A and B are shown apart, each in its own frame.
Chain A
Amino acid sequence: MQINRRDFMKLLGGSLAGLAVGSAAGAIMKIPKSMEPVLYSGPRKETWKMTACTMCPGGCSLKIRLIDNLPIQAFGNPLSPVNEGGICSMGIASVARLYHPERLTGPMKNINGKFVSISYDEAYKILKDNLSKIINTNKQDDIFIVAQTESRLRSEMFKKFSEVTGIKNLVIDNFKANTSKIYKKAAGEKPDFIDFDKCDYLLNFGSQIMEVSENPLYFTRKIIEHRSKGFKLAAVQPKLTPSISKADDWIPVLPAAYGDFALGIAYVLLRDEQYDKAFVEKYFTGFNDFKQFILDNYYPDKVQELTGVSSDKVLEVGRAFEKASAPAAYFDESLLYNSNGTLNAMAVIALNALKGFQGYGNIKENLIQSILEKENKDNEEISFADFRERLAGSKPIEALIISDSNFVFNNTNKEDLKKQLSKIPFIVSFSSFVDETTANAHLIIPDHDDFEKFDLLVDESMGMPTATLLQPVVDHYYNTVDTGDVLISLMKDLKSSTKIPYETYNDYIKQIANKIYSTHQGILMDQNKPTVIEKGLRKIGWQTESYSSFDDFWDGIQDAGGWWNPFADKISYNPKVNFDSTFSKENLKQKKLFASLPNKKLRLNIFKKNLDYKGSMSIFPVLVEQFGSRWQTFYKLWAEINPDTAGKYSLRERSIVFLRTDKGKFPVVLVYNPSVMPGNIDIPFGLGHTNFGDNCGANPLDYSDDVFDKASGMPSFSETLIDLDSASSLTAQVMTGGMKVTGTQNRSIYA
C-alpha cells in the first residue's frame, strides 16, 4: 500500500507536468511576486502534502495538492482514520485563506485608530514591555488571555504560558474544553468517546453531530454504518437541520428547554424503575434527592408544558431510551448557547448517569491524556463568563491577549463589548485578519496561516488516541510569526528564571511526537484498518511498526498525516457524579421561556450552519456564495418560517420582511419551511461581518437580547422576541435585485 501510493504520487506529478499547460497559465500568474520566477519557468510539478484542518473541532487530516510547491487544492486524507478521505466544505475551501487579499502581511500597530505596519522586533518589544510593566508590579490578575484554538496542544501552550507568567485569567474558548468544563463540575472528567460498538440509541441534544461537532466526519460515518445494525439516532432540537433530517426521530423542543426534556426522560426511567441501579448506588451522590425531585417535578404533562413536546412523545422517547441496552445522551458546546446552557448540560449528564453512561467509553491508559497531564499541572482556566463579568465590572483590565477569538462577532452585546474593550489600555491580537475583535486591538502580531505552521491535533473521540499532524505545506509568505513562538519567547523574557524545555513551538510539537514514539504504541496512519490478526499479534506483544527511529517516525508521520493507536483498550466510563444542589427548586427557577408567546410576537431562533464555524466563513467567497444557495438567497439573510405561522401574519413566501427587536430592525427574505416550530423564526448565523471578508447580510446576534448562560458565558441564540414589519413591495423588489424568486410548493422529484 505504502509503496504504491508513493509511486502514484511521483507518477502523477510526472504525468501532470506535461498536461498542465495552457489553461494553467492564467490561473497561476497571479500569485505573490516573489513566486513569479518559479511560475514562469516552473515544471508544473505536482506534489501532495498531508496536513490537518483546524476550521472546526473535528481535526480532519487534509491532503493538499501543490503545483510547483504552491498549494491549490485541499482534499481529505484517505489514510486518516478520522475522515477516511472525506472532508467538508470548510476544509475544501481552506486553501483560499492563504491567498486572501485581506490577510495581514506583518505586525501592525494601532496609531490613532489606523493600523500601521511595523517590524516584528518592534512589535515584540511593545508586547514585552507592556506585559512586563504589569507583571513587574505583580498585577498579573489584570491581564486576560482569550484564546480560541481547536488544537489542544496549542491550548496547552497557553496554559503553560499562563502558568509560567502567572497570568491566571486564561479563557480557552475551545469546543471540547467548553464541554469538559461542565463534565468537570458534575462528573470529574469527560468521557473519551461514544462507544458506537455498544451504543444502540443516541439521544442527541442540540448538537449538530454530523455537521460541526467534536468529530463530525467520524460521527457521520459511524451513524450511517451502525444504522443498518439497529442503531437509532434521535435528535432533540428546535431546528430540523439538514443532517438531523436523517435522524430516526426528531423531537422539536422549545429553544432552551433541552434540560427539561432530559429530565422528563429521566422521570420515565425513574418511574419505570429502569435505571442502572448498581451504577447509581455506587457512583451517584445524592441520588435519592434527585429521584424525588424529578418524580415530583418532571411528570410528562409538566414536561409538555415546559418543552412543547407532547407528553406521549416524552413517554415514547423515554421508553426507547430505557429499552436500549447502551443508550447515550449526547451534547456538546451547541447546547450551551442559551441562558440555561449549563443547567441543560447537567440534566443530560444526569440522564446518562441513570443509565450508567453505558453508551460511552474511556480509553485504558490514554496516552494522550497522560502526555497532556504531564505537561499541564492542573491549572484551572476560567470561563468566558468570568471574562464578561470582569469586562463589565468596575475593576479595570490592564492588558488583553486575544488569539483567534472573534468574540465581538460571536456575542449578543457587540456594542457593549466594543465599549468595554476601548477602556483597556493594551490589547494584543494574534489574528491573521482584522476581524471585529481585532479591530479594537492596539497591536497585531499575525499568526501563520494553518498551512504554514506545525501542530498536532490529538483526539480520542474515536475510541482510540489519534494525533493528526498539521504541518507547513508552504513556507510562510509573509512576515508572520507562529503565536506559539511568540509565547515561548515571552515566557523566556518575562520569567527568565523558568527553564523552558523547548526553543520553538515546532520543537514542542516534535517533543510530543517523540513521546508518542517512545511509547511504541500505535501505528502511522498509512497502516489504515489493521486486520484482526494484526490486532491479535499486537495484543501479545508483537510489533509491526514501519519505523525504526524517531526520525523515521517523524518522516512517516509527515507522509501519512498522523499517528493513531487502533489497539488501545477500551474501558467503561464510570465517573462519580455529584450534582450538589443543581437540581433543586431554587436552582431551577428558570425563566418560563416562551412556553407561551406574547401576542403578536415571534421567537428568534438563530441556528448555525455547517459552512460557518464561529463566524469564520466570511473570508471564503465560495462558502459565502453557497451559504444560502439552497434557498436561492444569495448574500442575503433569510428567515425560515412555518407556513401556518406565516399564514397568521399573512406573510407571503419570498417576501422581504423586517424583523424588529428592541435593538433595531433588519431585513430578511422569508422562506417557508414546514419543519420550523410554529411561532419561531429561524435565522442562520454567519453573515453580517462588518470588518473583514464578505460583509453581506446581517448578524442576528447584533439584534438579540443580551442573554447568556451565566455559568459558561455563552450567548443565547434563541431567546429574543421579535415583531414583524412587512416591507413595502417596492422595497422588496429593490432588495431582491429585480428578480422575485417564488418558492416551490413541495414538488415531487419523482414526477
Chain B
Amino acid sequence: MPRYGMVIDLNKCNQCEACITACKLENNVQIVSKENAEMGRAMFWMKMLDTNYEGSYPDVRAENVPALCMQCDEPSCIKVCPVRATFKRDDGIVAQIYPQCIGCRYCMANCPYTAKVFNWFKDEQPVENEKCNNIDVSVRPKGVVEKCTFCIHRLQIAKEKAKAEKREIREEDYQPACAEVCASKAIYFGDLDDPHSKVSKAMHDYRKFTLQEDLGTKPKVYYLSAKSE
C-alpha cells in the first residue's frame, strides 16, 4: 500500500500562489460572499501562511509558506470526530465524508494547522465559476467541514485508468492540482514509501522539516528550507 505525501521546497517556491488558485478551482471550493470573506470565512484548502519577516530594513528576508492539510499520520482531527466523518485511509490520505458530517466543527477546533474550513452557508459561487466547476468533485452542502484531500478524485481516476491498462499505478498518473501547476516545480508528490519516487528522494534532504513537529501529529507534508537548521 502506498503512503502518499508531499514535499514543498520553499527554496524553489516563488510564491506565485498558482497552487492556491488551482486548488480552489479543481475542488470547487466555494467563493464566499464579500461580507463573509471579511468576517474571516473565506475558504481555502491551500493558503499562504502569514509572511515571516526576518531582519530589519533594508536587510529583510521574507518567508512565505504555502500550507494545506498536512495529512498527518497521527491526525488529531479524526480522534475527536463523533461520527467518523473524517478518517485516515490505508494509503495515508485523511479523507472527509461530507454526507456523514454533522457540522460540529470539533475537528476544526482540534486541527493545529487550521487547515479545515466550514461551509457556513450553502454554496454560492459566482455564475461564471459555477459553469466551470470540476465535474469530478462534488460541491459540498452547507454545514459541513471540508479540507484538502490530496485531490483524491484524481487518485480514483488514475486507479481506473491503471486497471483498464492492466498495470500498476504510476507516479505521474496521480498528482494533485497544486503539484501539477507549480511552475517552479517546488511541489513533489507521490508515494513516500517508494524509494524510487521523486518525493521520497526529495524528502531525504537535510533541509527537511514539518510544521509543528513537536506535536507529534506526524504530517505527511514536508517542507524543505535551508533556513530551518
Given contacts A99-B132, A100-B128, A626-B24, is CB(A678)–CB(B57) below 8 Å? yes
> Measured between alpha carbons, how far is A220 from B9 in the docked complex, in Å?
14
List B47-71 residues whose CB lies under 8 Å from chain A. 47-53, 55-58, 60-65
CA distance A416 to B227 in the complex (A): 51
Q: Is the CB of B127 within 8 A of A99?
A: yes
> How far, in angstroms, from A91 to B211 measured CA to CA in the complex?
30
Closest B residue by C-beta to A100? B128
Q: Is the CB of A630 within 8 A of B50?
A: yes
Q: Does B134 contact A (CB under 8 A)?
A: yes
Please judge, given known A-B contacts A30-B130, A72-B133, A99-B128, whether A675 and B53 are in contact too, CB under 8 Å.
yes
> What's the interface size class on A, roughly?
35 or more
Whether the pair B161, A634 counts as a contact (CB closer than 8 A) is no
- How many residues on the B side are at the interface (Cβ–Cβ under 8 A)? 76
Indicate if the CB atoms of A97 and B128 lie closer than 8 Å.
yes
Residues of B near A76 (CB, < 8 A) are 180-181, 183
> In the assembly, what is the distance between CA of A744 and CA of B114, in Å?
15
Q: Which of A11, A67, A246, A746 contacts B165 (CB 8 A)?
A: A11
CB-CB under 8 A for A245 and B135, given A19-B160, A221-B183, A622-B24: no
Find B14's partner among A73, A242, A749 (CB 8 Å cutoff).
A242
The answer to the question of A23 belonging to the interface, with a C-beta cut-off of 8 Å to chain B, is yes
Which residues 1-25 in A have Cβ within 8 Å of B in the complex? 8, 11-12, 14-16, 18-20, 22-24
Segment 212-229 of B: residues with Cβ below 8 Å from A: 212-213, 228
Whether B57 and A99, one on each chain, are in contact in the complex, defined by CB atoms closer than 8 angstroms, is no
Q: Is A23 a contact of B135 with CB atoms below 8 Å?
A: yes
Q: Which of A155-186 contact B (CB under 8 A)?
A: none
A220 and B61 within 8 A (CB): no
Min Cβ gap B207→A in Å is 12
Kindly state the separation between the CA atoms of A18 and B160 in the bound complex, as whole angstroms.
10
From A14, A89, A99, A696, contact of B34 by CB (8 A): A696
Check B22 for interface membership: any CB of A closer than 8 A. yes
What is the distance, in angstroms, from A234's C-beta to the closest C-beta of chain B? 13
Does B100 sit within 8 A of A, measured CB to CB?
Answer: no
Chain B residues within an 8 Å CB radius of A636? 38
Q: Which residues of B contact A14 (CB under 8 A)?
A: 164
Given A252-B57, A747-B52, A92 and B161 touching (CB < 8 A)?
Answer: no
Q: Which residues of B contact A210 (CB under 8 A)?
A: 14, 16, 184
A738 on the interface (CB 8 Å rule)? Answer: yes
A542 at the interface (CB under 8 A from B): no
Q: A101 vs B129: C-alpha distance in the bound complex, in angstroms?
A: 10
Q: Is A257 located at the chain interface by the 8 A CB criterion?
A: no
Kindly list chain B residues whose C-beta atoms are within 8 Å of the C-beta of A118: none
Q: Is the CB of B21 within 8 A of A92?
A: yes
Verify if A540 is at the interface (C-beta below 8 Å from B): no
A737 in contact with B39 (CB, 8 Å):
yes
Inter-chain contact B136/A93, CB cutoff 8 Å: no
Q: Which of B25-33, B72-80, B88-96, B103-111 contacts A (4 or more CB under 8 A)?
A: B25-33
Given A86-B181, A89-B17, A210-B16: A72 in contact with B134 (beta carbons within 8 A): yes
> How far apart sit A549 and B134, CA to CA, in the bound complex (Å)?
38
Given A23-B136, A748-B52, residue A245 in contact with residue B61 (CB < 8 A): yes
Q: Give the docked Cα–Cα distance between A217 and B62 (Å).
A: 21
In the complex, the chain B residue whose C-beta lies closest to that of A24 is B135
- Across the interface, which residues of A come within 8 angstroms of B209, CB to CB? 750
Give complex CA distance A614, B24 in Å. Answer: 23
Cβ–Cβ contact A737 & B35, under 8 A:
yes
Of the candidates A18, A86, A96, A625, the one whose C-beta lies within 8 Å of that of B132 is A96
CB distance from B177 to the nearest CB of A (A): 8
Question: Which residues of B have CB within 8 Å of A675?
Answer: 53, 57, 60, 62
Cβ of A89 and Cβ of B20 under 8 Å apart? yes
Q: 13 A-B pairs, CB-CB below 8 angstroms? A: A15-B157, A23-B135, A28-B133, A93-B25, A99-B127, A100-B128, A211-B16, A625-B32, A630-B47, A630-B48, A635-B34, A737-B39, A739-B39
Q: Show the binding face of A for B, using Cβ within 8 Å.
A: 8, 11-12, 14-16, 18-20, 22-24, 26-28, 30-31, 44, 67, 71-73, 75-76, 83-89, 91-93, 95-101, 210-211, 216-217, 220-221, 224, 240, 242-243, 245-246, 250-252, 610-611, 619, 621-623, 625-626, 629-630, 632, 634-636, 642, 644, 673-678, 696, 736-739, 741, 743-744, 746-751
Task: Given A24-B136, A216-B16, A242-B51, output 11 extra A-B contacts at Cβ < 8 Å.
Answer: A71-B132, A72-B133, A96-B128, A245-B62, A250-B58, A610-B17, A625-B32, A630-B64, A634-B38, A675-B62, A750-B209
Q: Which residues in B have some Cβ–Cβ distance to A below 8 Å?
A: 11-18, 20-22, 24-26, 28, 31-32, 34-35, 37-40, 42, 44, 47-53, 55-58, 60-65, 125-139, 156-157, 160-161, 164-165, 177, 180-186, 209, 211-213, 228
